[in-house]
Structures are given as C-alpha cells and as structure tokens.
Amino acid sequence: MESCRTWYGKALLELARRDPTIVALDADLSKSTMSTYIEQEFPERFIEVGIAEQDMIGIAAGLALTGLRPFANSFAVFITGRAYDQVRQAIAYPNLNVKLVGSSAGLSDFGDGATHQSIEDVSLMRGLPNMTVIVPADHIQTRAATLYLGTHTGPAYLRISRTETEAIFPDDYVFRLGKVDRLVGGSDVAIVASGTITATALDASRRLASIGISASVVCVSTLKPLDAEDLIDALEETRNVITLEEHSVYGGLGSIVAESLGSRGGYRVHMMGVKDRFGQSAESFTDLLDCYGLTADDVVEAACQMIGKQP
C-alpha cells in the first residue's frame, strides 16, 4: 500500500527540480498535504500563508501573474469551500495558471468528521468555467496527474485522497487529460468509477464474475473536461451503467456520466455515492464507506438489481 499524498508531494518535488518556476503554497497543513517535500528542498519557492486559505488563493493568483506556476495546497474541503469566491474571482474567471490541490478529499479523513470531509468539492470546481478537474484513483495515477499538471496551462483542481492504495495502474502509466481508462471488459454491466474507490469497483467486478455476471470497470480521472466520446466508446459492450464515487451524487461523477449519456438515449444509469448527506467521524475509512453504502458488496447488489439477477 502506498500513500497517495506522499506520491503527490514527491511528484511535486520532482517538478520543482525540473522547473524553477514551480512554487508551492500551503495554509498550515504542509505535513498533511505533503507540500513539505518542496518546502524542505526549495524553501525559497515555498510560501507558508498561515491558516488563511482565502489569502492563499489570492497570493497564488499574484504569483501566476508574474509567470510562476503555483500549486496551492490545503484540505479539499477548505481550498474549494472556504476559498470558493477567491477561486472563482481570482483564478477561474481571469483564467490564471494556478493548480489547486485538495488533500484529504472525500471521506478519507474519516476521523475528523463532516467538517473536514469533502463530498461536494468536485461539484463546486467543475461548475466553474476554465477549471480542469482531476481525481486520481491510486498513487500511480496521482503521480502521473501531478506531473501532467506541471506543464498544463490554466486553472486546475487535483483531488488527493488521504488513504493508501494498491497500484491499479502500471508504473509507466502516462496521464491523458480527458481520456478514460478501461480497466476490465464486461458485457452485462459497466461500473464507472473515479478516485480511490475505483479499487472497490474492481473488487466488485471480480465478485460479480464469480457469480456469472460480466462487469466492466471504467476509471474516469478527468472529470472536466471529459471526452464524452471516449466514455461512450468504453461503454460499447453494455448500456447498464453504475457510477461509483466518494462524493455527493449531486454534481460529481454520476451527474457527469448522466449528462454525457442523457442526450444519446438507451442507457440506464444507477448512481452510487454520498446521497445528500454530510459525512461523520468513524473508527476507520472502511467503516465509513460501509455506512454510506459504498462497499464492493453494495456495488454487487446494485449490479444484480440492475440486470435482474439474485446476488
């Protein structure tokens, strides 16, 4: 198991070694977001703004205006929520080259509870014109997406989980903006997942195979701009679609897939995610996912219901 945020922090450091215009900001969470790596090696290119996310976003905008490439770090809930107006007014609207990195995203900060968990961040960010939204599924994709953002131009939001992951992608995986990754083929039902919960989709697919149900798994890491044609191609084998995300079903992956498929007709979409509830504290991440109906068992049950088979 590898830590996504550590892989992010090391990838950012790698970018900083290559490119002297890479700078990082943090709002007193550098040892959680892992911007601490760049802080230690390049203190002159790290700006500690204190516990002041709104200020941090404005500063990041100012840095971008001088030609630098700032990565602003905080918890997902704060960088997208606390500083939403600053992101809208000072980053997205002027279309500035700032990367927003939201750490401890989704329910992954299980102990801290609802105040620190982000179930609406993707929805908030993708509603902003000019904003790119990327949600990696494992540490490999986290690194690949971070390296990609080192040369990307314009505003982007990168959602980083606090959890550890088994590798889904090969070591040499290269991130392709807008493209989906077909992980498993299958003809009865398609599980479309984003983020670290993609591992749960793979687990569910294996369990479904053992009971004779063929379930494909499609990983969507670019939530905006998503190449809808690429998604449609990945769904060529079946029109029964389950979306799975560690985010509210309002405005996240489920909405995006439904928007992409809606005008084409003929698809059934069942959305799995957090159903209009806030998070809460729990003893473990697994317990929390179980409580919100986001386990492999839940996916198996949904798939069986969708195609009218007994689990």
Partner 1 sequence: MPFDQETVAELQNRSRQIRRDILEMVHAIQSGHPGGSLSIVEILLVLYRKKMRIDPQDPHSQDRDRFVLSKGHCAPALYAVLADMGYFPKEALKESFRRINGMLQGHPDMNKTPGIDMTTGSLGIGLSVGCGMAFGARILGKDFRVYVLTGDGELNEGQVWEAAKTAAHHRLDNLTVIVDANGYQNDGPTRVEMNMEPLAEKWRAFGWDVQEVDGHSIEQLSSAFDQVPAPSGRPTAIICRTVKCKGVSFMEEDKVKYHGTPPDGEQLSQALSELGC
Tell me whether residue 85 or residue 236 sits nearer to partner 1 (CB atom). Answer: 85
C-alpha 277/C-alpha 290 separation (Å) is 14
C-alpha 111/C-alpha 123 separation (Å) is 23
Segment contacting partner 1 by CB under 8 A, of 32-40, 92-100, 133-141, 300-308: 92-100
Tell me whether residue 66 or residue 310 sits nearer to partner 1 (CB atom). Answer: 66
**Which of residues 2, 28, 55, 237 is near partner 1 by CB under 8 A?**
55
CB of 49 to partner 1, least distance (A): 6
CB of 95 to partner 1, least distance (A): 7
Report if residue 68 touches partner 1, rule: CB under 8 A. yes
Six token digits for residue 38: 């760049």
Task: Tell me, yes or no, if 236 is annotated catalytic.
Answer: no
**Which of residues 13, 15, 38, 60 is near partner 1 by CB under 8 A?**
60
Tell me whether residue 20 or residue 225 sits nearer to partner 1 (CB atom). Answer: 20
CB of 83 to partner 1, least distance (A): 9
Size of the site for partner 1 (CB under 8 A): 31
CB of 159 to partner 1, least distance (A): 23
Q: Which residue has the tokens 């105040």?
A: 115
CB of 181 to partner 1, least distance (A): 34
- Catalytic residue, chosen from 39, 44, 48, 53, is 53
User: What is the pattern of x (binds partner 1, CB under 8 A) and - over residues 93-132?
Assistant: xxx-------------------------------------
Report if residue 52 touches partner 1, rule: CB under 8 A. yes
Tell me whether residue 67 or residue 265 sits nearer to partner 1 (CB atom). Answer: 67
Residues 6+ away with beta carbon under 8 Å from 289: 107, 197, 200, 246, 295
Residues 6+ away with beta carbon under 8 Å from 196: 4, 106, 108, 136, 137, 138, 161, 163, 165, 246
Report if residue 65 touches partner 1, rule: CB under 8 A. yes
Phi first, then psi: give them for residue 179, nearest 5 degrees: -90, 145
**Which of residues 2, 6, 62, 177 is near partner 1 by CB under 8 A?**
62
Report if residue 19 touches partner 1, rule: CB under 8 A. no
CB of 89 to partner 1, least distance (A): 4
Report if residue 278 touches partner 1, rule: CB under 8 A. no
Phi first, then psi: give them for residue 66, nearest 5 degrees: -95, 0
Judged by the rule CB under 8 A, the positions of this chain that interact with partner 1 are 23, 44-45, 47, 49-50, 52, 54-68, 70, 85-86, 88-90, 93-95
Which residues are annotated as catalytic?
53
